[in-house]
Chain A
Amino acid sequence: MAKQMTGGLIRKKPFSITRQHGFTTIALICFFVLYAPILTLVFYSFNAGNNLMLWEGFSFHWYVKAYENELVQEAAIRSLIIAVSASLISTLVATMAALGTTRTAKFKGQSMIFLMINQPLMVPEIVTAVALLIFFAIIKTFTGYYGLGYLIAAHSAFCVPFAYLPIKARLDGMDLSLETAAGDLYATPFRVFRRVTLPLLFPGIMAGAMLAFVISLDDVIITEFVKTAGQDTLPTYMLGQLRRVITPEINAISTVLLGISLLVVTLFFLVSRKRF
C-alpha cells in the first residue's frame, strides 16, 4: 500500500469510502439504530399478551381491537379527510406557484418568493403551531365556526413546500422549447398547457400530492395545537393514549400507519422516477 503511494508506478485505485476500514461496521450500526426500534414495534404489535416487552405468542388480537375501537375509527377517518383535502389543496396551490416561478420572465424578488413558499420548511413547527392557535382563536370568536376547516387549512399551508418541490423540479427539467414548439404548431396558450405542459408535469404533480399526503397524515405538533375537543387525528389520539395504559394496540395502529406511509412513499418514488 505504502509502496504504491510513494512509488507512483502503479496507479492508485481511486478513493472509495466503501473500502475504508470500519465502513461496514458503521453502516450496520446506523441501520440498526434506524430500524431496530421500528422492527420491535412491528414485532410486538402481534403480541398476544398485553405487555409491550413480554412476548406471549402470535396474534392479530390488537389489530382487531384497534379496528373495533370507535375512537380509532373516528380518528382514522378524520386523519384521512384532512390528509386528502390538504394534499389536494396544497398540490393545486403548489402547481400554480411552480408554474409562476418557472414559466414567467425573471422578476425582482423571485428568490424572495421562493423562500416564502418554502417557509414551513424553515420556521420551527412549534412556532407555527402556537401562531395558528392564537390566530384561529381570534377567528373562532368572530365566526363561531369550530369545524375541521381549521385543521385542513393548517395542513394545506404546511404541505405546500412538500408538494411544490417535486413539481418545480419536474418543471425545471422540462425543455422550454417543447411549449414553444406547441405554440408554433398552432396551439393557443391554453391548449399548450392542456396538451403539453400538464401531461408532462403530471408525474411531478402526483409525486407532490403523495408527499403532501404522507406529511399531513403523520403531523402531530400543529394538529395538537389547532384541534378542538373531539378532533383527534390518529397521531394525536395515539399521543393521548400514551398518557394512560400502554397496550400493543398502539403498536398495531402505528404499524398500519407505517404500512400506509411506506406504500405511498414507494408509489412516490415510482411515479417521480417515471420519465413520461
Chain B
Amino acid sequence: MVDDTIRIEGVGKYFGAEPNLVKALDNVSVNIRRNEFFTLLGPSGCGKTTLLRLIAGFESPSFGTILLDNKDITTLPPYQRSVNTVFQSYALFPHLTVAQNISFGLEMLNKPKHEINQTVDEMLALVHMEELKDRRTNQISGGQQQRVALARALAPKPDVLLLDEPLSALDYKLRRGMQIELKRLQLETGITFIFVTHDQEEALTMSDRIAVMNEGHILQVGSPDEIYNDPQERFVADFIGESNFVEVDIVGKASGASSSGSIRFANSKKSYPVKIPANKKNDKKALVFIRPEHARLDGKTRGATLTGTLANKLFFGTDTNYHIDLDDGSQFVVRAQNTLEGGFSPAVGDKLGIFVDENALKVLKD
C-alpha cells in the first residue's frame, strides 16, 4: 500500500448562491504521498489555489473530507494543522527580524528556548541567510525574502509544506536558482511539498507527480513523463507543451475487454494500430494527439501519414518549428532538431509529407 500524507476525498468548494454560484472546486479526490513533490498545475481560476487554501485550513470545503495522516482535519482551524504555507506575497512580518520571523512558529508551539534557537540556526544555514538574521524583512532583497519565507514555514517541521506560486515574483534567473533550491530543500527535509503553479515548465522539472486542473476539476494525475507523453484529454495535452490534434476515423474495433483498435487518417488508406480509450469503443471518430517532435518531415508524400504545404519556419536555436497547412486546411507543427550537417531543409511553399510512427499517436478521451 502506498503511504499517503494527504487524502482529499470528494472535496468541493462553492462560492455565492444559486444564480451566481461559483464552483471553485467540484468533487475533487486525490491522494498525496509522503515525501513527494506534488504539483497542482492549471490556468488561473482552475481551483488550484482554492484546494491549497482548503488543505491549509484558511477556507472550509462546502463538502468532502480532507485527511492528514489518516486523521480527519476538515474542520480543524489552521493553527491546529501540521501544515505550513509559503505565501505568494511571502507575508513576512515587517515588525520582526529575519530570525524572529523564522522562530515565530516555534514560539507559537511553545517549544523550549534552546530548541528554538537551535532550529532557527539550522534553518538560517539551510537557506544561507546566517549573515542577515538581524535584518528587518524590508531590508533584504526579493530572493532573500523568499528564502526567509521558506525557512519560516519549514522551521516547525510540518508534515506538509504548501507553496502558493512562490516563484512568480522573481525574475527568470533567480527563479531557476530557487527551483533547484526548492528541490534540494525537499530532499533534505523529507517534507511533503504541495506546489501550486501555472508554469508548465516549472511543474515538469520539479515535480514527482503533477495534477493538472481545470475549471474546478483534476483532469489527470501522473508523473511529468506520463503527463507529457500520455495525456488523456485534449486540455492536458494542450496545456503542457505544444501539440497537434487531428481528427481520425476509428476503423478496427476492439473486441471484448481489449483496449486495442486501429485508426485511419482522412484521404489515407493506411491504418494504425493504437489504444482506444474505453469511452470511445462505440464511436466512429476520435481525436488523435501528436507532439511536434514526434513527427518527421519528408519531401516525398507517398506513404505519408499526412500531407500539406510548408507555411512558415521558426528557428529556435536547438530546433526549428515547421508550420504546415494540411490539405484539409488545418494547421500542423513539426519540430525538428537542428544539426550542423544541415540535412533536409524545405522551403516555404513546398509540398511535404508528415510521417508519424504508430506509437506517437495517442487517442484522447474527448
Contact = CB atoms under 8 A, between A and B. Distances in A.
Nearest to B105: A185
Contact of A185 (B136, B138, B152): B152
A190 to B, nearest CB: 11
Interface stretch (B83-91, B300-308, B352-360): B83-91
A185 B81 CA distance: 9
Interface in A160-217: 175, 177-178, 180-188, 191, 195-196, 199-200
Interface string A44-65: 0000000000000000000000
Given A177-B87, A183-B79, A200 B94 contact: yes
Interface string B127-162: 000000000101000000000000011001000000
Contacts of B80: 186
A185 B155 CA distance: 10
Interface in B54-84: 56-58, 77-80, 83-84
Contacts of A187: 79, 104, 108
A182 B83 CA distance: 12
B173 interface: no
Contacts of B125: none
A182 B79 CA distance: 8
A1 to B, nearest CB: 45
A177 B84 contact: no
Given A185-B108, A186-B105, A186-B108, A180 B93 contact: no
B94 A191 contact: no
B95 interface: yes
| Most chain B CB within a 10 A radius of its CB, from A175, A185, A199, A276 | A185
Contacts of A183: 58, 77-79
A186 B109 contact: yes
Interface residues of A, number: 19
A188 B79 contact: yes
Given A199-B95, A276-B94, A180 B104 contact: no
Contacts of A200: 94-95
Contacts of B56: 184
Contacts of A178: 91, 93-94
B95 A186 contact: no
Interface in B253-292: none
Contacts of B84: 184-185
Nearest to A177: B91
A108 interface: no
A200 to B, nearest CB: 6
A275 to B, nearest CB: 7
Given A183-B79, A186-B79, A187-B79, A196 B87 contact: no
Given A183-B77, A187-B79, A175 B156 contact: no
Interface in B222-239: none
A171 to B, nearest CB: 14
A199 B93 CA distance: 10
Contacts of B104: 182, 185, 187, 195
Nearest to A186: B108
Contact of A175 (B89, B136, B153): B89
Given A181-B85, A184-B85, A175 B79 contact: no
Contact of B108 (A191, A275, A276): A191
A181 B108 contact: no
B93 A275 contact: no
Nearest to A192: B79
A43 to B, nearest CB: 45
A153 to B, nearest CB: 35
B57 to A, nearest CB: 8
A194 to B, nearest CB: 11
A10 B219 CA distance: 60
Interface in A249-276: 275-276
Contacts of A175: 89, 91
B150 to A, nearest CB: 13
Contacts of A181: 85, 87, 91, 93
A195 B80 CA distance: 18
Nearest to A176: B91
Contact of A186 (B94, B136, B138, B156): B156
Contacts of B109: 186
A199 B104 CA distance: 14
Given A182-B104, A185-B152, A191-B108, A276 B79 contact: no
Contacts of A184: 56-58, 78-79, 83-85, 153
A28 to B, nearest CB: 40
Given A180-B58, A184-B78, A184-B85, 11 more contacts: A180-B87, A181-B85, A183-B77, A183-B78, A184-B153, A185-B84, A185-B104, A186-B79, A186-B108, A187-B108, A195-B104
Task: Pick the 9 closest A-B CB pairs, nearest first.
Answer: A185-B105, A186-B108, A181-B91, A177-B91, A187-B108, A183-B78, A276-B95, A186-B79, A276-B94
10 contacts: A181-B85, A182-B108, A184-B58, A184-B84, A184-B85, A185-B79, A185-B105, A187-B104, A195-B104, A275-B138
